Structure 1
């Protein structure tokens, strides 16, 4: 049964790639003209909305029995226990709005708490990442692998955005503590402003770890599969395997797992 399901999911990869190709064209051809506050220091642009609308329309036609969770319009369609698409139409909206070309379209197919198909497209970098469960991770058709580094002094680590909204002060004290701990040990810290690129580049070995102390499925589901299929490890903050219900998303090259998780544990006061 698992093999049958895996083959069925793999057959949906071209559908996911076509959906993100539609999204790429919209992002590249339409500069943001309207920027709206949807929460405290949280924005959405007309491009985000146009991408989500276009991808929803396409996937509803191509896969009418599969529901979709999108960042901008929530979850529609599908049934409990069935696979569902999860979409971030533009991950890195603040970057896009400022003209910074680090943004991504992230689309995953989630089943039983994990992504089984993943596509992350970087429109302005002309780069596409893909993975299906059990079949490896790829960048523009070429197999990719996570970093082989094992010494913290060799590691480049990406940190996710700081928290906003209710409870942000307490959450950000943890982030600042972790930033200080890692900054004293690793080669460099980076904050790219997009979880999808953090995870895709960890899968590709460009980064040695991505520490994202949050877990919104549209941001992370596709990238988590990429990292795992590239030989990396993805964990929750307590060291348990990551799922769509995890509280954090910590992706790391295998040789650095203990080093990174030790610093995470210290920052959270976990013994």
Structure 2
């Protein structure tokens, strides 16, 4: 099956997920670590989409945030975050989304992100462009860092949160001194989708879980953003971090990342 064959299947899966997210109560919220949690909606969405995708595409593996992997041992793998932004959802904040990506080897090649409470859907397939609904997306064309809005990933929680937050806090300070605004939306899917749409000029996350990033990475890349790791190398699922930048400020963002590392 080609990517154009698989895209409608991904949309159907996300349709099913969206119905659950908008119709269900949050349900039981269970701690899965320090200041991290999973809701009943997360589990219901992942179970439903796992069953659907393994039935519709049995030759493709499946990786979900909550219950791990299943299915074929193949080069292709679906990667699902059933609710990206669970903390936002639990607190009644509309900044959350369903993120379904397809990984080929170590590269994201297809993605669908739906923001159910903002009524927006983003999608892309490698070589076919990125879209919000029927509107083709274009990443920001800014060339002036002082005019840039840059989003950053959440601060770390859990094991060694203090140590893992040192680079995040250093980055925040360096950005605050140089860019127009710094934003933290609490959802990697939103960060990357809005980078694709040019609503933010760059986004930086010192993390790279496949379920968080795979859909957004291909959407941002297909919209013309530079999607990379902190060294400026092309992003893969093995990258230690996820950075998307408007091409015109790519080198400025990399310079800030170098300065961040020097301060540690």
Which TM-score band (shorter chain)? Answer: over 0.9
Identify the residue that residue 34 of structure 1 maps to in structure 2. 28
Of 53, 63, 79, the residue aligned with 2:57 is: 63
Q: TM-score, normalised by structure 1?
A: 0.95
Identify the residue that residue 111 of structure 1 maps to in structure 2. 104
Identify the residue that residue 244 of structure 1 maps to in structure 2. 237
Identify the residue that residue 71 of structure 2 maps to in structure 1. 77
Aligned residues: 263
- Cα distance in 2, alignment partners of residues 107 and 134 from structure 1: 18
- Cα distance in 2, alignment partners of residues 268 and 86 from structure 1: 30
Equivalent residues of 1:10, 1:117 under 8 A apart: no
What are the residue-to-residue correspondences of 1:87-236 with 2, within 5 Å? 87-236=80-229
- Cα distance in 2, alignment partners of residues 245 and 10 from structure 1: 26
Q: CA RMSD in A?
A: 1.1
Deviation digits for residues 209-266 of structure 1, max 9, x if unmatched?
1111111110001101011100001111122111000110011110010111111111
Runs of 4+ in 1 over 4 A off after TM superposition: none
Structure 1 runs not aligned, ≥5 long:
1-6
Structure 2 runs not aligned, ≥5 long:
none
- Cα distance in 1, alignment partners of residues 261 and 63 from structure 2: 30
Q: TM-score, normalised by structure 2?
A: 0.97
- Cα distance in 2, alignment partners of residues 179 and 42 from structure 1: 22
